[in-house]
Structure 1
């Protein structure tokens, strides 16, 4: 599609972002909402295939159900001139495959942070009964702020060299393909967990576990070969972290994590010192595969009958001399067969009986063990898992699962709730609100924004947080409030007309405004304001300057009044970076301090017809060399004066100010 083409009368195509087996992706600009978006357009050679169109439309329907900061949002679905297209959130950054290539080796904590975001997104999809089927680094985008976002829900590209297909089933890229998908079975949620394990493997090693010349050879390795050890690649990787890879990529789905949430919980503590001595994970089915198969009763009886028939046949056809010679051998064979039969029957009669696995979920550990023992089952290892639904110290699930047919004396693994999954609050002060909120929301935390004016902190930056750093919270029940800078405070200017000079100075100080005074003869009471600029009701920001004209009282009627000359004097005030008036403020309610910029506090004193040195004419703060204009009203033949004070010290002064001296 050519640049500048307007799709759907709304989306102006800018450039191509990439081409895939099923669709091409373009960068476009939304002319209505004035924002960049990405447009996925079904390839022209596939637009007449109803099955392909249905899969393409399924992606839009699937993604619109999913709302998560780690899932690429779908804004619009449409068709134009037979062309199917999706309009999605534009993620400025790179895919995870390129990120691994550019940043490997990646610190373990960063690996866990990336995987936690991906797991959060997949968990939301699974809660909506949506299976991705094609999880791979190429479908995970990393934006400029380090936020991971999954794309391509409901669609699997199945036309490249590294993909496999079967009738009516789309299988993901072969390097991340689960064993059951490679065998042709339908994908399940645990198939996604397997792919997530392969992605974690690649984040830790920089490569995929299985390679081959053809897609088929790689697929065979997925269900025949064991996953290579990541600790052999890097011995510094903790065993607990390798165990996450091993359990997620178990050949049998029942040996994998019960859910994406369980995998995320295990991954969260993989670097904890408490798990330093954890043994290597071994799947339960690894032992079962090596068990000896024993013939059943019918098979034993069939073997005996066949042996007897063969013996009679041999007796009829053998010569008498040969029969006598080998009679002892026939007797020995008969004895061995009899012993085999007796042993087989004894095993058959003494074998463990099959019972139905009881459902003990929701029971306390003691109650569950008693119920299992009553069914002649052996309560085995207890594994703690976080749960938002099951009370602490109550059973979440078992392995084998409830209602499964198991032999008596089978060891039953119990998964017991450790209570709600708690997360640790980090320090978000100084970060952008968008980044901080995305991180918290990815962990399931409800975030509330509270704006606050600030002249020192950049707009959109977090100034305070309600939860302290290091605090562990239940994200389902805790709301974290982030106080965000809204820039300098705005205020509505009050009506100052009629106010005295002292009242106006007090108001200006309270509202952080600078004020300059002019004087004029008027019928108003001497010393009260007769006008102001800007006018009352104007919207100002802190630090703005207002000008107020005060009444000198009524103008004398006689001409004997000395002539007063009005003129202005400009003064350059130097900024001193080492001045003790530079300030640093800290907020006791926040988990971190915030320093203000260095400023000088300046007081200006004026001596003329209307002022004397006993009161401050003007006070202001400066952060650099600043020029100020001072108005004077001086009787003809006399002089005025000014003093500039910083930190209680006079830095500039002139006691002989006349109209012609400046």
Structure 2
């Protein structure tokens, strides 16, 4: 199944986790619940095999009954276009085989912690009448918090079902298989307990107890050989803990633990001081299938014919001569028979020395050590190992073999393997200022999950990327990356409110809220009270964008007229006009750059005949140094004042303005 395919309209395939004999496992993303999951898909060449389908569905039914936190949860079961699939909890971490290889040796406390979690999970399965039958470190996952998750109930059996293995078929992995499974006998819960004992041995020593050239030799060792001593390799292991291994791996079922609860209880106390001087555990029952050794007859024993000759009165020399005479006739026949036997044995040995044909096993997804073991089982050898970046297989997994899997070759042949260095990482790149639609199309082709967030901007054109959630210099695996871009929608549009009868402060607050620049002028008015907006430009209802400028005229109230004495009204009026002067002062407004490079907001306050210093005279939005003319109207002998505020800070202030 290709990366990017959406299974059942919900599960987007992200990557391959592994390929097995019956099913392939993928990492997928649940588009509805927004989480990573593991999808197990029955192989295409198996979907028409009723036995494989039944076993696959059996795993699904087994898992749905189990609720222990140390068993991988199943979320969904389905079928699409004839393809059977399971959706399961995705456990990010490694399997116990990798964990042992990476962490060994680890503390006895950690060994017991892992085993207790495994026993708890297997106990839950047994309580539901389910025997796993394939317990091995590869089926025990360790998540990133160090917790156990058991998976792969693909060959599990319900106790109510037939528990007899198929004739000539050995289910489970040979390194962990119980003797009764090897014989094809009835499989009980004690078969799982035997496998758990082997797993405990491996955690304590770093290797399995029985190793051989092929699967048959390993199975025979499970059946015949006594369990190796843990303490001979690791003297720091207490006898009580080694006894748990012996007890769990007893050949005779009568000696073995009958339940995982018994084994768990024994493990809980194996490090306690009270068991420090415990003696070595020994089985109570002999193995009925033990190999018998026949002793040769004693030299003093005579044949029946020799005894009869002695009874007839012949002495020992006569008996020897008669026996010698009889054997001399037989020697020629014995020589011929011996020659023929040697000839046959020699021919057989010569034939045995001719390399037999075997096939290259499927190694994809295995680690180098696992591949080496599989090749040994097929009487093949590991050849040249090359490494290559690969987006499908994780670091250390086999990508391909040369020759290919299932190729018929001679035993002892070297098989080259190509190992994954993992996906190649590259700098993500800077996409700000580019068209979102084009960037999205480009990145999706490279496997990136792209999402967008709409934002308004008065400076960035609509459709362009304002920012990105991943640093441009960060190295990532494109196919495993999700990014969120802030995409500009342009300046935000809205209808201008009617500001008439607003106070200057209310008008300024509205402008700030909408991102507008407010220009203020003042005039006398008999209609509007002082400090009230009497005019606005543009008119109410005009569609504006953030960053636009509006102008308002603030009322200074009714114009005051000076009273003149009745005897000299015309003279006084002329004198009053001469006592008032109008002029303008040039003021430079300096621009200050900010981190974002935005404009400066400048407010001008003035005090003269018509204005008070407490009120804003004018608001400007500047993007560079600017010079403005401030008008004043002063009576003779009076002084004006002004104050310049930039972005909330007073930058210039003068209180003795006069006409020069």
What TM bracket, shorter-length normalisation?
0.3 to 0.5
Say which one has the larger Rg.
2
State TM-score, norm by structure 1. 0.43
With normalisation by structure 2, the TM-score equals 0.43
